A and B are shown apart, each in its own frame.
Chain A
Amino acid sequence: MGGDNYDFVIALAGNPNTGKSTIFNRLTGLKQHTGNWPGKTVMNARGYFKHNEKSFLLVDLPGTYSLLANSPEEEVARDFLCFGNPVVTVVVVDATCLERNLNLVLQILEITKKVVVCVNLLDEAKRKRIKVDLNKLSRILGVPVVGTTARDGQGLTELKEVINKISEQSLCCNPVQITYAEPIEKALDILQPVVEKLFKKQISSRWVSLRLLENNKKIELALNTNFAGNLLENSALKKARLEVQNFFNQQKMTEEEVKDSIVTGLFNTAEQIGQEVLEVESEDYHQFDRKLDSILMSKKFGIPVMLALLGVVFWITIKGANYPSELLARGFFWLEGYLTALFLASGLPDWVNGIIVTGVYRTMTWVVSVMLPPMAIFFPLFTLLEDLGYLPRIAFNLDNFFKKACAHGKQALTMCMGFGCNAAGIIACRIIESPRERLIAIITNNFVPCNGRFPTLIALAMIFLVSSIAAPWQSLGAAVIILMVIVLSVVITLFVSRILSKTILRGLPSSFTLELPPYRKPQVGRVIISSIFDRTLFVLARAVMVAAPAGALIWLLANFTVNEVSILNYCAGFFDPFARLFGLDGHILLAFILGLPANEIVIPILIMSYLATGSIQEFDSLEALRDLFIQNGWTWLTAVCMMLLVLNHFPCGTTLFTIYKETQSCKWTVISFLVPTLMGLLLCFLVSQSVFLFSSLF
C-alpha cells in the first residue's frame, strides 16, 4: 500500500461477477475475497498501484447492472462516479455476456467521458467460442477497449498503460451518444441547455437532464447535497421542467412511459452494438452450463446432489484431517514434555510453568492441532464450489423454503458465507436490500456452524457417536452426522426466520431476482493457496490470539482457591444444577460462557477445567479426550446436547461486534444474542428431558 499520496483517482465499475474483484486484486496486490456469485463487493474497497512512477488510487465500486434502480449499491457506485471525480473510470465487462453488460457501460458513458472498457474473461469466451471484436467495439463506443483474462494476469499491463494515458490526457475519449426515442430527444432539447448553463462543467448535463425527465427524486436529492446553491430551485430550470411536463402531457406520455422509453433506448443501443461486435460460432454456447444446471438444479436430483456434494466435502475434511491432527497433537505433546522440563530446570516457580505450559501452551496447541487440519481442507474445498458458481444454485434450490419462511432468497448465500465465518456471513447480508429480511438473515446467521465450530462438532461426533462403528467407516459416519447437523441448522434457520417474520419482523417477502452466473473453471492452485493463506491462517491466528489469554485466565481460575475450592470449580458448581436440566454440566456451560471471544476455545477450556479437577494425564488423542469426558460423567446424551449447544448459542465476540456495526443497534445485537441462545437451551432441554423420561419409563 502506498499511503495516502496518489496522483490520480481511478474508479473500477462493472456488473457483478465479471471478475472486477480479481482485476482489483491483480492491480493493487490486495487480497479481496473473490467468488463466483453476484454481490461480492458491497462497499468501496480502495487500493493503490504504481505505473510509470505515478501512483493511482483504485476505488472498487459495488457491482451493479445499472445505475438507475436506486438500490444501496447502485447509489454508492453512482454517487462516486458523479461526485467523486475519478480521473478515469474502468468498466469491467464479461465477454461471455457482453450485450447485457453494455447497458451499464452506456449509462456510465453518459455520466463521464473518461472511460476504459475492460473486456474480461476472454478465456471463458474463447471456450464458449464467442469472439469479441475489440477494435470495432472501441470505435463504436468511442473509448479505449482493453481485452483481459484477469486471473492469468493477461492484458493488465495494457490496461494500466491505457489508464495512465487517459490520466495524462494523451489519449482522448469521445464516447458515443445514445439516441433516444423522438419525444425524449425533444424534451432533452428543451431541458439540456438550461441544465448546462446551471451546472456548468461540474457534471454531465445530458445525464442530469435525463434523470430530471424521469423525476428521479433520489438523484435530485444527491444533486442538492453535492452542489451548493440549490440549483434545482432555479426559476429557469423550473420553467423548463414545466414545459417538458406539458410536452409529455401533450404526447400523452406518463412518467412510467418516459422511464421505459429511456431504458429501451439503452437496451436497443446495447443490442445493436452487441450484434456488430460479437461473433458467435454456435448459438448453443451455454449448452454445457445448461446441461450441468439440468442436473444440479433438477427436480429429482437438485437437493440430493446438493446434500451429496456437501457430504463429500465433509467426508474429505474429516478423513483428511484425522491423521495430521493426531500428528500435530503428538508433536505438541512431545514438545510440552521438554518445555516442562525446561521450566523445572530453570528454577522458576511452579505457577509460571502452570500458566505458560498448562494454560497458554496447551490451549493454543489444542486450537492449532484440532482446528488447522479441517480448516485447511474445508476452506479450499468450499471455495472451489464457490468459484465454480455453485452457491447461487444452492440459493435457487432452496428458495421456495425461504419464501415460505417469508425470508429473502439470497439468505441462502449469506448462510453459505456463514460456514466460513459468521462475521463474514453477517457482512454478506448487505446483499439483501429489504431491511426486514436483512435483519432476519443477520439474526439467524449464527445457526450455521462456522469453521470454528466444525472441528468441535466433528470431534464430538467421532468420539461419542461413531466410536462403535468399525474404524474404516468412522469418518463416513461422522460426515453423515455433520451433514445431519447442517440440515438441522437449515431447518432451524427457516423455522426461526418464519417465527421472526410473524412476530417482531412482520412482513411479506420482497421481490428479488437471483442471477445464476455461468459456471467457471475454478482456479484450483489459486484457490488452495489463497484460501489457506488468507482465510485459514487468518481465522486460526485470530483464534490463537484469543486462546492464549483465555488459557492463562482459565488456569488461574482453576488454581486459585477460596476455602480450598478453586474459583473455576466454584463457578462450575454454581452453574451445575441449572446445566443438568439441559443434559449438560456446569463445566460445559462455563466453557461456553468463557468461550465467548471465540468458539474455537470452548473445548480447550472444557478440557482444562476437567483436568484441573482431576490428575493430569497424557493427553494426545481423541481416545484420551473420550476417557476424560467419560470420567467426568459424559454419555452419548451429553455429547448430543453439547453438539446442539455448539450449533445454537450466542455468536462469538467478533460476530456480535460485526452485528452491532452492521445494524447500528444495541437492540438487534441483543436479540441476535438471545435468539440462538434460547433456541439452544430449549432444544437441549427438550432432548435431554425426553431421554430422561424414556429411560425412567423403560
Chain B
Amino acid sequence: MQEKCIPLHRLPIGCTGRVKELRAKDDTRRRMLDLGLISDTVVKALCQSPSGDPTAYQIRGAVIALRSEEAANIMVEIF
C-alpha cells in the first residue's frame, strides 16, 4: 500500500493519523515537539470549532486545539 501523507488540518474529524514530519521552524517547532508531536506519534482529530477553525486533536492523552496554520505544518499518515 502506498504511504499517504497529508497535512494534519486535512485529517478528517474522527480519523487517526501518525506524525511523519514536522515542518514548523524554531519556537513553533519546539512548542509542537513539547506537545509530543514527534515522529510516529498518533494524533486523532476530535472536533472542529463552531466556525471551522481551530480543530481539537487528541495527542498523547491530552486534547489540544490547533489553528489550521499550525496544523498545516504537521504531516501525518492516515491509518
Partner-B contacts on A (CB < 8 A): 65-66, 68-71, 96-100, 103, 256, 259-260, 263-264, 267, 286, 289-290, 293-294, 297-300, 302-303, 396-397, 399-401, 403, 409, 509, 511-518
Contact = CB atoms under 8 A, between A and B. Distances in A.
A397 B48 CA distance: 9
8 contacts: A65-B34, A96-B61, A267-B60, A293-B63, A297-B56, A302-B49, A409-B65, A516-B65
Contact of B54 (A97, A303, A396): A396
Contact of A303 (B50, B56, B63): B50
Contacts of A99: 60-61
Nearest to B50: A302
B34 A298 contact: no
Interface in B25-78: 27-36, 38-39, 41, 46-54, 56, 58, 60-67, 69-70
- By CB atoms of chain B within 10 A, which of A69, A100, A286, A513 has the most? A513
Nearest to B48: A299
A396 B65 contact: yes
B31 A513 contact: yes
Contact of A516 (B32, B64, B70): B64
Nearest to B26: A256
A260 B33 contact: yes
Contacts of B31: 69, 71, 511, 513
A505 to B, nearest CB: 19
A97 B61 CA distance: 6
A513 B27 contact: no
Contacts of A517: 63
Contacts of A302: 49-50
A273 B70 CA distance: 29
A416 B66 CA distance: 21
A263 B24 CA distance: 15
Nearest to B34: A66
Given A69-B34, A297-B47, 14 more contacts: A65-B34, A66-B34, A71-B31, A98-B61, A103-B36, A289-B63, A302-B49, A399-B53, A399-B54, A400-B54, A513-B32, A513-B65, A513-B66, A514-B65
Interface of B is mostly: mixed
B60 A260 contact: no
A70 B30 contact: yes
A68 B30 contact: yes
Contact of A396 (B36, B39, B49, B60): B49
B67 A409 contact: yes
Contacts of A96: 61
B49 A399 contact: yes
A516 B39 contact: no
A572 to B, nearest CB: 47
Contacts of B47: 293-294, 297-298
Contact of B62 (A69, A297, A515): A515
Nearest to B58: A286
B53 A290 contact: no
Contact of B67 (A97, A300, A401, A511): A511
Nearest to B47: A297
A97 B33 CA distance: 17
A401 B30 CA distance: 26
A104 B66 CA distance: 21
A299 B56 CA distance: 13
B50 A298 contact: yes
A509 B68 CA distance: 12
A518 B61 CA distance: 10
Contacts of B51: 400-401
A513 B38 contact: no
A487 to B, nearest CB: 15
B61 A103 contact: no
A49 B21 CA distance: 48
Give the 6 A-B CB pairs with smallest separation, nearest first: A400-B51, A66-B34, A302-B50, A514-B65, A516-B63, A69-B30
B50 A264 contact: no
Contacts of B54: 396, 399-400, 409, 514
A613 B30 CA distance: 66
Nearest to A404: B51
Contacts of A401: 51
Contact of A397 (B30, B38, B50): B50
Contacts of A514: 54, 64-65
A69 B61 contact: no
Given A69-B31, A297-B50, A297-B56, A513 B70 contact: yes
Contacts of A297: 47, 49-50, 56
Nearest to B30: A69
A100 B52 contact: no
Contacts of B58: 286
Contacts of B50: 297-300, 302-303, 397, 400
A66 to B, nearest CB: 4
B28 to A, nearest CB: 5
Contacts of B32: 513
A100 B60 CA distance: 6
Contact of A259 (B30, B56, B60, B65): B30
B26 to A, nearest CB: 9
A515 B52 contact: no
